[in-house]
Structure 1
Amino acid sequence: MRSLQILAGIAGLASMLSPIQASTVIDPSTAAKAAIDAMNNAFYNPSEGRWSPDVAWWISGTALQAVLDYMHVTGSRDYLSQAHEIIEKQKAPLPWWPQGGGNFRADSTDDTGWWALAMLRMFDLTGDKRYLTIAMQDEQYIWNYWTDTECGGGIYVDIKAMTYKNAIANALYIKLAAALHLRTGDARYLTRALKAHQWFVESGMINAEELVNDGLTQDKANGVCFNNEGPTWSYLQGVVIGGLVELFRTTLNETYIRSAATLANAVISSPQLTPPSTGVLTDYACEGTAAGCNYDQQSFKGIFARNLGELDVLIVGRPYRTYLEQNANSAYQKARNADDTYGTSWSGPFDGSSLAKQQSAASLWVALL
């Protein structure tokens, strides 16, 4: 059972979705546990306290989120000692960015955000305020890189160079700050979350199809910032949805749920992100291309599924469950091998395993719990 369920009756929402027929081929909790166990067996390095130490550090943060979410939803504590081990080893000052002073403060605001959100889930799971404190420290660290000058606001993603105001850094911050307000009642977090959300809406990163592009470009001649028309990566849409969900949960203003539903529906109706031929989420900018998807990009779809699941449980009738089931069924049938590891494309075929692909599939199954 989830610890909190808010029912927001939004009339006619289900009818806005494309009809997809699906039934789960396997119990989601069984599939989720199998995916997590396979992730641990194939990729976890206990001496390092992370999965695949050669892969980007943030991916272990989102993999930890998948594991913690699984325990939070199911009541299992099977991986709690592992989670403690990971946190204790990874919260130390980072060898490549010791200026952060530890507690997951990294050389980019988005990397910090992934781990901070995992700390909030660890707090939810254990009630231990040490994890809440870490998330609060990380929020302040990220907020330090907000400026009102370039682009009229927003958080820089690259701390070293102080460049690029993009969707993921700001969406993660909105979700983190709103979630902190929900857990602490501290008004500064809501004030900051609302300011960041208003700036995001007005920034131009949301395009005419109601989808979120990668970030902003500044015209050096006049200082005006505009949508860079970068890819509408699935994870961008997901984290924006997640931030809107947290704003709703802390304010109970259904405007945020309606905005989240608009974005979710745009993803489902997009012929690029959800090709009609498969009905399966696709990161079109890398899947099926000659270059393929790198490790970062292999992680993206599971992050979308995680956040869509957070929206789905708040709405009467769970209107997005069918879409999640369609993706899970396809991944299970077409993109999985005998070891319960998953490939990049959830519409198949299986193309080998990696930590990024596996945490993405685990997050997809957890979203159905």
Structure 2
Amino acid sequence: MKLANLFGASCLMLSSLVSSLVIPNSAILDATKASINALNTYYDTTTGRWNPKVNWWYSGIALQAILDYMQTTGSEEYLAMAQHTIDIQRAPIDWYPQGGGDFRADSTDDTAWWALALLRMYELTGNSTYLDIAKEDEAYIWKYWLPETCKGGVIWNIPDLKYKNAISNELYLELAASLHNLIPGDTLYLNRSITQWEWFNGSGMINSQYLINDGLLEPDANDSSVCRNNNADVWTYNQGVVLGGLVELHRATGAQGYLDTARKTADAVVNSATLSPGGILTETCAGGSDSCSINGWSFKGIFMNRLAKLNKALADNPYSEYIRNNEQTMYSNARNGSDFYGGIWQKPFDGEDLGKQVSAVNLLIATLGLS
């Protein structure tokens, strides 16, 4: 069963000089609602997922985007859908035999995506059930913070206890720090988030350009070296989620250094000829005529979501123009007549999929939050 309730977006005539234009606030709101309702044509009410044929975590980030929209606008338009999704997805996951109910999965990152969405649901509703589940998920992930290799860090793949990567560790940082900020008098989550950041900052995953590679190479029986950066892809979402964690740590402690560090990574992305050619965020897999998987298409919106959080936390709001220019470019170039968006924002619409649409929704919400 599909949920199809499309709103028509305003038809705006934009010149090629999109960076100099600003869509009026009401038009940004219309465009955002239209993009969400296009996204929701993927929603399957039976499974409570956006496109049940693709990986489970995509529904977690789709849920987060819709919750962010409601928090930004004060709307409760999609609250029943959000509650329905959570109610169904709480059940034990048969394809994650090592995990269990309440969003505990075989990978720490999948668990954390859903836990962060639950915290947003708690903020919106005040229902402590959502907070309790997020705390349960945090405890589950913390069990896999293993000092036996690399002197700490969360492992990614639970069944074989392998691979300390950026995304799992960044998501854990954001989750633990967010929990602290929502629980008066907490010290447990604050101490864990500080421990996590100190480990991550010294892990080697942050390279000399202040960008973050995918993960760590660990020594084996034939390798006496210490854990070190694997020099794998610099995915945009790895540059983004860490910003969210550092903003939450700043909120928790008041320490300016966390924002200063976040700004170095954000500036590295914004000023990168590879990640921001012509000032427009571009996933590395989308260079030239190459094509990203649904994974890669979803990453840019995650970056923009966290960049907007950092922008709001900084007194000079240094990334407002960058966010607006990306939104204007995407709306002008990559949108089709049904409010679906392509994956390369500076190029014509190149077909729809869930990852592309969630990224577009996240960018539009980031822009809406600037108004």
> What TM-score do you get using the length of structure 1 for normalisation?
0.91
Q: What are the Cα deviations for residues 74-98 of structure 1, in whole angstroms up to 9, with x where unaligned?
A: 0000000000010011111101124
Structure 1 counterpart of 2:193, which letter? A
Alignment check: 8 A CA contact 1:24 1:328 kept: no
Alignment check: 8 A CA contact 2:330 2:346 kept: yes
Q: What are the Cα deviations for residues 278-299 of structure 1, in whole angstroms up to 9, with x where unaligned?
A: 3100112344354x10011110
Which sits farther off after the overlay, 51-60 or 97-106?
Answer: 97-106
2-structure distance, mates of 1:217, 1:267: 24
Q: What are the Cα deviations for residues 33-66 of structure 1, in whole angstroms up to 9, with x where unaligned?
A: 111011012x111111110101111011001000
2-structure distance, mates of 1:286, 1:67: 26
Q: What are the Cα deviations for residues 105-132 of structure 1, in whole angstroms up to 9, with x where unaligned?
A: 1110000010000000000000000000
The residue matched to 1:299 in structure 2 has which SS? Answer: helix
Which sits farther off after the overlay, 313-322 or 210-219?
Answer: 313-322
Alignment check: 8 A CA contact 1:287 1:293 kept: no
2-structure distance, mates of 1:106, 1:22: 45
Q: Give the equivalent residue in structure 2 for 1:15.
A: none
Q: Give the equivalent residue in structure 2 for 1:100.
A: 99
The residue matched to 1:37 in structure 2 has which SS? Answer: helix
Alignment check: 8 A CA contact 1:172 1:240 kept: yes
The residue matched to 1:245 in structure 2 has which SS? Answer: helix
Q: Give the equivalent residue in structure 1 for 2:62.
A: 63
Q: Give the equivalent residue in structure 2 for 1:179.
A: 178
Alignment check: 8 A CA contact 2:170 2:242 kept: yes
2-structure distance, mates of 1:327, 1:187: 39
The residue matched to 1:307 in structure 2 has which SS? Answer: helix
1-structure distance, mates of 2:98, 2:304: 34
The higher-RCO structure (CA 8 Å, 6+ apart) is 1
Alignment check: 8 A CA contact 2:174 2:241 kept: yes
> What TM-score do you get using the length of structure 2 for normalisation?
0.91
Q: Mark the runs of 5 or more structure 1 residues left unpaired by the alignment.
A: 1-19
2-structure distance, mates of 1:98, 1:83: 25
Question: Cα distance, 1:26 vs. partner?
Answer: 5.0
Structure 2 counterpart of 1:61, which letter? G
Selected match of 2:237 from 235, 238, 252? 235
The residue matched to 2:163 in structure 1 has which SS? Answer: strand
Q: What are the Cα deviations for residues 134-189 of structure 1, in whole angstroms up to 9, with x where unaligned?
A: 10000000010011111111010001111000100000000000000111132111
1-structure distance, mates of 2:24, 2:45: 30
Alignment check: 8 A CA contact 1:231 1:285 kept: no
Selected match of 1:256 from 255, 258, 268? 258
Aligned length: 346
2-structure distance, mates of 1:245, 1:31: 28
Question: Cα distance, 1:101 vs. partner?
Answer: 2.5
Structure 2 residue 271 is the aligned partner of structure 1 residue 269: yes
Structure 2 counterpart of 1:239, which letter? V
Structure 2 counterpart of 1:361, which letter? A
Question: Cα distance, 1:231 vs. partner?
Answer: 1.1
2-structure distance, mates of 1:286, 1:152: 35
Alignment check: 8 A CA contact 2:271 2:279 kept: no
Structure 2 counterpart of 1:70, which letter? Y
Q: Mark the runs of 5 or more structure 2 residues left unpaired by the alignment.
A: 1-17
Once the two structures are aligned, what percentage of the paired residues are identical? Answer: 48
Alignment check: 8 A CA contact 1:235 1:301 kept: yes
Alignment check: 8 A CA contact 1:204 1:227 kept: yes
